[in-house]
Structure 1
Amino acid sequence: MPTISAIIITKNEEKNIAACIDSVLWVDEIIVLDCGSTDQTQEICRKYAPKVKLRETDWPGFGEQKNRALALATSDWILSVDADERVTPQLKQEILQKLDNPNYVAYKTPRLNYFLGKPIRYCYGDKSDAPIRLAKKNACKFSDDIIHEKIIVNGTIGKLQNKLDHFSFNNIEDLINKINSYSTLGATKLYKNNKKTSHTKAFAHALWAFIRIYFLKRGFLDGWPGFIIAFSNFEGTFYRYVKLIEKNRSN
């Protein structure tokens, strides 16, 4: 049976990290790469030693940070998990079964997203929200994107059937904070790629984000949480592009 390392990057995840670690205690090692948490994240991780190997570093962006965590892993396979995600018992069993005789070098993992305590079944969808999370270490790396990074694989990719639980927001305040931080990172990424825009285009991008999630993906079937998610995507998209306008003007 090949060995598995779970890799997790953190900053101020005291509300999430224990449940995340508990869900992957069955792997051979757990790498937690933290970038300056000021809450109890590091103290919680130390309670799980020696299974959890806690390391500290600065923050270069999501892609490079996950590549750093990948480099620290010593197992045959890596399982990339965010602090707000949980590996269910069903997913654990499927992973172990697949790796007993793997047919692929990586596997996409569908996620079941939760918002305000409710499972969200339409806004995201299995097809659009099934990132690669399980991969052979010597056949993968993360893209160097500062946000919305992805695993790049050298080989064929399969797909798991059981879902990874994703608890992205504890409350509306968390949602608003993430809109602000992610729109800033998104604007920085666009700026580095020499992108230009206008306020009209910013509104058009934002409107399309709302229409795509609320109507085309039938987010309205998720009730009020679906509307809030669609509207927050409108906001985040609009702010991303107007922040890009600010960056272009100031430079």
Structure 2
Amino acid sequence: MASLSVIVITKNEAHNIQTCLQALSFADQCVVLDSGSSDATCEIARELGAEVTQSTDWQGFGIQKNRALALSTGDWVLSIDADEIVTPELREQILAALAAPQFDVYDFPRLSSYCGQYIRHSGWYPDRVTRLFKRGVADFSNDKVHERLITKSQVGQLKAHLLHHSFINFESVLSKVNHYSSAGAERMQSQNKTATPVTALLHGLWTFLRSYILRRGFLDGSMGLALAISNAEGSYYRYLKLWLMQRQTEQNAIPSRDPN
């Protein structure tokens, strides 16, 4: 059977990394590329047999995943985040695909949890992610956030779930909303997009309606409502931060007056 490398990028994932790596014991190589953890992430990963490298020159998720990809040596590569778990069913389907591949790239559905509840609506499911590929046929976009796998190969589909524990509590919700909205605002600024407080509000309202009504978030119960609100906040903050960045750029461009 072809060899398989797993790549994982980390920073302060001590609470996740053990469960993640234990589910990946079927791989021939596990590469953990850490970006400066201050907790026990690296120690736990090494104890579980992972090849741990540190790279603190953070330039975004896409570039970091390409760095991890360059460290892998397997015929096939599986990209997993530290807060994701390969289920036994998905493991068996991955091994079957490697034993008799019909495609060079595969995706599979991801089932994500929000504050302890798995979400099956709200636009979160089925969230098919393309993560398994033959070496040389794909790499990652250089996006700072929401990176994607780039390939010209046809993508096959596996059916088993990848579990994603993205928001373990509300503190993690607030932290990720802040982080991703800042990164999103920076990306939009680089694309010369503009915003105002009104457009920020409208984007937030539209995001809530799309998540809770159009994507049937109400079927996820009270957590569906909470998720729709946090999605709306993320969109609102992203555009508001873009507007504030524009204001700062405009103010910096105004020449200062000579007091004399």
Q: How high is the TM-score relative to the length of structure 1?
A: 0.96
**Residue 226 in structure 1 maps to residue 224 in structure 2:** yes
- Residue 190 of structure 1 is matched in structure 2 by 188
3-state SS of paired residue (1:168): strand
Whether the 8 Å CA contact 2:61–2:143 is kept in 1: the answer is yes
* 1:101 shift after superposition: 1.4
Q: Which runs of 4+ in 1 moved over 2 A?
A: 124-127
Work out which of the two has the higher radius of gyration on C-alpha atoms and give 1 or 2.
2
d(CA) in 2 for partners of 1:219 and 1:202?
Answer: 22
d(CA) in 2 for partners of 1:108 and 1:144?
Answer: 20
**Residue 111 in structure 1 maps to residue 148 in structure 2:** no
Whether the 8 Å CA contact 2:10–2:82 is kept in 1: the answer is yes
d(CA) in 2 for partners of 1:126 and 1:110?
Answer: 8
Q: What is the aligned-residue RMSD (CA, Å)?
A: 1.0
**Residue 235 in structure 1 maps to residue 233 in structure 2:** yes
Instruction: Give per-residue Cα distances to partners, 1:6-31, cap 9 Å, x unaligned.
Output: 11000011110100001111101001
d(CA) in 2 for partners of 1:200 and 1:183?
Answer: 17
* 1:125 shift after superposition: 4.3
- Residue 31 of structure 2 is matched in structure 1 by 31
- Residue 65 of structure 1 is matched in structure 2 by 64
d(CA) in 2 for partners of 1:126 and 1:137?
Answer: 28
Question: Is there any run of 5+ residues in structure 1 with no aligned partner, and where?
Answer: none
* 1:126 shift after superposition: 3.6
Q: Equivalent residues in 2 for 1:70-85 (5 A)? A: 70-85=69-84
Question: Is there any run of 5+ residues in structure 2 with no aligned partner, and where?
Answer: 250-260
3-state SS of paired residue (2:39): coil
d(CA) in 1 for partners of 2:217 and 2:229?
Answer: 11
User: Would you say how many aligned residue pairs link Structure 1 and Structure 2?
Assistant: 248
- Residue 137 of structure 1 is matched in structure 2 by 135
- Residue 8 of structure 2 is matched in structure 1 by 8
**Residue 154 in structure 1 maps to residue 155 in structure 2:** no
Out of 188, 200, 203, which is 2:201 matched to? 203
- Residue 48 of structure 1 is matched in structure 2 by 48
* 1:124 shift after superposition: 3.0
